[in-house]
Chains A and B, each alone.
Chain A
C-alpha cells in the first residue's frame, strides 16, 4: 500500500515539474484570482489554478521526510518553480514553512536548498533584501536554540554521522555554504565616460604673404 502511494506521488512529482514549465488547461475556477504578477507573466486563471494545485502537492512531498532525498529535492525545485511562475513569494506563512522544513531537514543538500529558497520567500516579492537579512538573523537564532548547524553541503560523511550519532554529527557540522547575498555596488562614473565636445578649432588664417625682399640697390660708395 505504501509502495503504491509512493509511486503515485513520484508520478505526480514528475508531472508537477513539467507542469511548472507548461501549465495544462484545467477547468475554469471562479474563485481563483489572477494577481498582478501572474497577470504580468500572462498566466490565465486556469494556469494559476493548475500551478497552485501542483504547488500544493509539491509542498506535501517536500515536507514528507519519509521520502527520499532526491524526491524531496525535486519537490523543492518544483515548489520554487511554481512560486517563480506565480510570483507569489510573498504568500503569507511561506517563509515560516521553509523554517519548519529547515529544522526537520535530514541532509545538508536539502538544508542548502531550503536555505536558498527560504531567502526568496523571505524577500517576500519585495525589490530589496531587507527580509533576507531578517531571515539570516532567524537562522542564527535557530542554530543557537537547537544547537544545530544548518547549511551543510550534503557531504556523504556528514550524512553517515547523522544516521549514527547525533552528537558526533554536531561536532562534524560543516560551516554554512549558503551565505547572505549582497549585491555589490556597480559604480557608475559618467563623468569619466563622457567628456564635452570641444569647439572645432578655427582655421588659422593664412599668413600674409611675405613682402618680396627688396632688391638690393647698388649704392655708390
Chain B
C-alpha cells in the first residue's frame, strides 16, 4: 500500500516538474514574441528605433527564442536600421539572417530580397541586381523562387523607369513559373505598368489582354478587375479601335453583378460613342443608367450631367438647357447646385454668344427674385432666365422609375428614393411631396437628415432657387404657431411649403 502511494507521489512530482518547465518555456517564448511585437511598434522616432534595434538584437541572441521569433526580430532590426539610414549595417544584418538559417529557403529568399531593397534604396542598383542574380543562379530552388526573384528585378527596373528591361524580366518571370496564376498575374501587372510608363499603347493593350484572361484575373480583388477592364477599354479607345471598345464595354456590363458598376460601364460606352461623334447613340447609352439600373442612384447625377455635355457637344443647346434643369434640381447640396447653375450659364453663353442671360441667371441664383436688396417689388427685382424652359421628357425613364418605385419599400429611405426618381423625371413638386412624406414618417433619429432633404433639395427644387431657405427652417422648427407655440398670436408663421405644392 505504501509502495502504491510512493508511485503516485513520484508521478505527481514528475508531472509538476514537467508542467513547470513547460510553463516556463511558454512564458519565455511568449516574452520573446511580445518583445519583437513591441519593438515593431517602436519605429516612429529615432531614439525608439535605436531601442527597437537593441531589443531585436537581444531576441536574436536569446537561446530560448523560437526560430520564428528570431526571423521576425531580424526583419524588425533591418527595418529599424533602414529607418536609421544605416544601410551598411542593414546589409550586414541581412547577411547574418542568411547565415543564421542556412537551410531555410524561405528565410534565404527573404534576406536576399531585403538586401536587394537596401542596395536599391542606397542607389546601388548594380549590387541589388547582382545579389538577386546570384540568388537565382545558386540558391533559388524551384520555379516559384526563381520567378519571385525575376519579378523583383523587374520591379527595380520599373522604379528606375527602365521600362523595356522591366518588361523583359517580367516576361522571364512568367516563363519561370507559368502554372502559378499569382506569379503570372503579378508579372503581367508589372508589364502593364511598364507599358503605361513608356506610353506604349500597343504593348499596354497586349499586357492587359493577357492579364484579363479569366484564370489570371481570378486572384485579383473585384475593384482591381474592374480597373484593369476599364484600362483595357481606355487603351482600345486611345488606339481608336472603337468597335472593339464598344464590344468590350458591352461584355463588361453584361458580366457585372453590381448595378453601380454596371452603370459606370454604360457611361464609358457612351464616352466611346461621343469620341466617334455618335451623339444620339451616346445619349441612349447614358439613358441606360436610369432605365436599366434604377437602383444605382449614386450614378444619376453624373449620368444626367453627361447627357447635358453630350447635348452641348451635339450643338442642341435648347435640349441641353432643358436637361440641365434636372441636374440643378437633383443637386444634393448648395455647392453642387452652384456648379449646375454655372453649367446652365455656360450653355446660355454658348447659345447667345454673349453674357447677358448667363449673368442674369447667375445673379438670379445669387440673390433670388427679390434682387440684391432682398425686397420684392423694387427696381432690382430679378427674373429667372430659365422660367420659360420646360423640363425634358424621358418616357422610358419614367416607366422604369414607376416600376422601381413599386419595389422601393415603405420606409423613410424608400420615400427619399422615390423623391429622387421624381426629381430625375423633371417633377420637383412630386419630389417635394415625397421628401415631406419621408420627414413625416421619420423616427426621431432621422429628423435632421430628412428635414435637410426636404428643405435643401425638395423645397429648393420646387421653388427653383436656394436664396431664403432660412424661412423654411424656421417654420419646420416652430410650426405654424411660431416661436411662442400659441396659435393666433403675432408671431404665427405662414406655411412656406403650401404654395410650392399648388
Contact = CB atoms under 8 A, between A and B. Distances in A.
- Genuine A/B complex: yes
Interface of A: 37, 40-43, 47, 80-81, 83-87, 89-90, 116-117, 119-120, 123, 125-131, 133-134, 137, 178, 181-188, 190-191, 193-197, 199
Given A183-B476, A197-B362, 11 more contacts: A40-B415, A40-B433, A84-B412, A125-B440, A127-B476, A129-B447, A137-B485, A186-B456, A186-B469, A188-B466, A193-B338
A120 B443 contact: yes
B434 A183 contact: no
A186 B452 CA distance: 8
B417 to A, nearest CB: 11
Interface stretch (B101-109, B241-249, B279-287, B341-349): B341-349
Nearest to B345: A197
A85 B415 CA distance: 10
B477 interface: yes
Given A123-B440, A125-B440, A188-B469, A130 B485 contact: yes
B483 to A, nearest CB: 9
B374 to A, nearest CB: 11
A84 B476 contact: no
Given A130-B485, A188-B334, A197-B359, A181 B467 contact: no
B405 A127 contact: no
Given A40-B437, A80-B443, A185 B473 contact: yes
A193 B362 CA distance: 10
Contacts, number: 138
Given A125-B440, A128-B479, A133-B479, A190 B447 contact: no
Contact of B439 (A127, A130, A133): A127
B291 interface: no
Given A40-B434, A85-B411, A129 B479 contact: yes
Contacts of B135: none
Given A41-B415, A84-B410, A191 B366 contact: yes
The secondary structure that dominates the B interface is helix
A176 B362 CA distance: 48
Contacts of B359: 196-197
B452 A40 contact: no
Contact of B456 (A41, A184, A188): A188
Interface string B349-375: 100000100110011011100000000
A181 B444 contact: yes
Interface of B: 334-335, 337-338, 341-342, 345, 349, 355, 358-359, 362-363, 365-367, 405-412, 414-415, 418, 433-434, 436-437, 439-445, 447-448, 451-452, 454-456, 465-467, 469-470, 473-481, 485, 495, 497
B476 A128 contact: yes
B414 to A, nearest CB: 7
Contact of B365 (A87, A116, A182, A194): A194
Given A127-B497, A181-B444, A188 B410 contact: no
